[in-house]
Structure 1
Amino acid sequence: MNQAINTQLLKEPSKKWQYSLLALILGGSFIWSLSAIQFNAVDDGGWKIALTIIQGILHPDLDLLLNFSNQGVPYLLFETICIAFLGTVFGAILSIPVAFLMAPSVVPKPVYLITRFLVIVIRTVPALVYGLMFVRVTGPGAFAGVMTMSLTSIGMVSKLYVDIIEDIDTGILEAMTAMGCNTFEKIRFGIIPQLIANFVSITIYRFDMNLRDATILGLVGAGGIGSPLIFAMNSYRWNQVGAILIGLIVLILIVEVISNKLRSKLVNG
């Protein structure tokens, strides 16, 4: 028996050359990528500036960090949270019908293909580009950030919703049909209970991502804490940059812990 197994193993084709070729391709790609980096651009002046930045960040402006007016870090962080939260909620609500239109088992193939193409187009455009467009349309401020977060959320959330919709246990619906349940009852008691926990989990995960994106959107004037961050960097006020970064780190850590606990409870029941 053992001899037969050994003989069969010896007949297995060797993949050493495949792994060697893959390693060669990856190594060549890495070396070729390094050719685009100009290491000689870093001189003594650059290192001095880097040291100044680090010193400013390590000695943050506590007056700005603990200022609870509309110019302080706490208020700006609250505005950033609101942008991310509202954008996530609106995006999640809009993603539900889009997801059903993307589900091959629910709609005809032409509808599925057209909707999926539109979602791919939405996902292709970076959030900063959407932010610049909405700032031009609605003017700078938090509303442009909310609109941007809503639109960018649709691209990812609807795609994840589709995977959940496709995994619905159709046996439950067939059993409810045999019991004489109408369409509303099948949706209320057969479909929604299977979807709601995973939908909420995905939405929380997207909120975690939107919170980081909302920070970046402030750089283009779409509200939040990004605008004062870029102003402080452009004026070389590194102690203010340090105060803003400390606030962001604390905020993201708190949201990370809470979102992970909520998602774990939802997924595990």
Structure 2
Amino acid sequence: MQPNASSAVLETYENAPRKYWAKIIAFVIVFSLAAWSFDAINFGGINNVGFSVVRNILRYFVNPNYKMKFDPEAINYIQKYFFSWERYAVPYLMVETIMIAILGTFLGAIISIPFAFLSSKNITGEKGSWFGATLITMIRTVPIFVWGIVFIRVQGGAMAGVLAISVSSIGMISKLYIEVIEDIDTGILEALDSTGATTFQKIRFGIIPQLTASFLSTAIYRFEINVKNAAILGMVGAGGIGFTLIDALGSFNFPIVAVCLWGIIPVVLAIEYLSTWLRSKLAQSERS
């Protein structure tokens, strides 16, 4: 860097307003909130029984055959639940969990498209986008657990998980779709308009090519999240491996807990890796 440029940078830095008090106040506020949060937590509920449960789960997770010398039936449990294609076995339940995530993400991504267009300021205007944006915000405020409990009353089993995931996905996917739609290059649309292109042609050749890669990337990212959501929803009876996991935890059946975790963790890691790879490829194709 040349001397003049260096002195200009130094002068700009020295003349920059100092906001030490603002930083100190912000730090005090954050620290006070953290201290208040710790005070609200009852650490007295932690006891030796809780530590014993965690210790047993970790012990069986590291070595599912741990209790073989005391319980000869332990290996039979593991073979029954991990190396079987029965409806109660881990392979079947993991496939069901993934299918719930796929179908829920697909429905959520499709339904999010009209929501996003209706809520985009450059499509429907400032006033027109308000209603759709408010509805999306309302959907996002409801936790997926609540959607799961609601849909279990309507339709139990795996279908409740699909519906809960699809509705909860609309909030996040629509919000990301809106950001993409509002960033489209309007110059292409103006050029097509000058050639006398119809509305359908402008959508087909001007809008869709700009949105496809970003929409797919968003849906893939949400699917990655929904695989974990599908496993959690099983704990409230919405299908998947979560129901077996919570049932095993409730009965202190630690070998089954360990087997379920060994089924969930590798699958989730593999899907996260695949999702990252696919989204990077889509980003490269969008730039090229």
TM bracket (short chain): over 0.9
Q: 1:28, CA displacement in angstroms?
A: 1.9
Shift in CA distance, 252/9, structure 1 to aligned 2, threshold 3 Å: closer
Cα displacement string for residues 168-195 of structure 1 (whole angstroms, at most 9, x for unaligned residues): 1111111112222222221111111000
Aligned: 1:15 with 2:35: no
Give 1:160-171 correspondences, 5 Å limit: 160-171=176-187
Question: What secondary structure is seen at the aligned counterpart in 2 of 1:69?
Answer: coil
**Cα separation, partners in 2 of 1:12 and 1:108, compared to 1, 3 Å:** closer
**Aligned partners of 1:5, 1:51: CA distance in 2, in Å?**
57
Show structure 2 runs of 5+ residues with no match: 65-76
Task: Rate the CA distance shift 1:222–1:6 in 2: closer, same or farther, 3 A.
Answer: closer
Q: How does 1:10-89 map to 2 (within 5 A)?
A: 10-60=14-64, 62-63=78-79, 64-89=81-106
Flag the 1:165–1:252 CA change in 2: closer, same or farther, 3 A: same
Cα 1:79–1:174 shift into 2, 3 Å: same
Change (3 A) 1:79 1:109: same
User: In 2, Cα distance between the equivalents of 1:145 and 1:210?
Assistant: 10
How big is each residue's C-alpha offset from its partner over 1:19-57, in whole Å with a ceiling of 9 and x where there is no partner? 222222222222222112333333334333332232232
Q: CA deviation at 1:9?
A: 5.1
3-state SS in 1 of match to 2:124: coil
Q: Which residue of 2 aligns with 1:105?
A: 122
Report if aligned partners of 1:80, 1:215 keep a CA contact under 8 Å in 2: yes
1:35-87 CA-to-partner distances (Å, cap 9, x unmatched) read 12333333334333332232232233531122222211011000000000000
Establish whether residue 137 from structure 1 lines up as the match of residue 141 from structure 2: no
* CA RMSD across the alignment: 1.9
> Which residue of structure 1 lines up, in the alignment, with residue 67 of structure 2?
none
Q: Residues 223-245 of structure 1, C-alpha deviation per residue, up to 9 Å, x if partnerless? A: 11111011000010011111111
Summarize deviations over 1:79-119 as a string: whole Å, max 9, x none. 00000000010111110001000011111444311111111
C-alpha distance in structure 2 between counterparts of 1:85 and 1:5, whole Å? 52
* Map of 1:96 onto structure 2: 113
Aligned to 2:72: none
Alignment partner of 1:206 out of 222, 231, 243: 222
Residue equivalent to 1:178: 194
Whole-angstrom distance in 2 between the partners of 1:214 and 1:35? 33
Aligned 8 A contact 1:59 1:239 in 2: no
Runs of 4+ deviating beyond 6 Å: 1-8
Distance in 1 (alpha carbons) for counterparts of 2:154 and 2:200: 40
Counting matched residue pairs gives 268
Distance across 1 between alignment mates of 2:182 and 2:39: 45
Aligned AA (1:104): K
Tell me the SS of whatever aligns to 2:148: helix
Q: Which moved more, 1:26-35 or 1:39-48?
A: 39-48
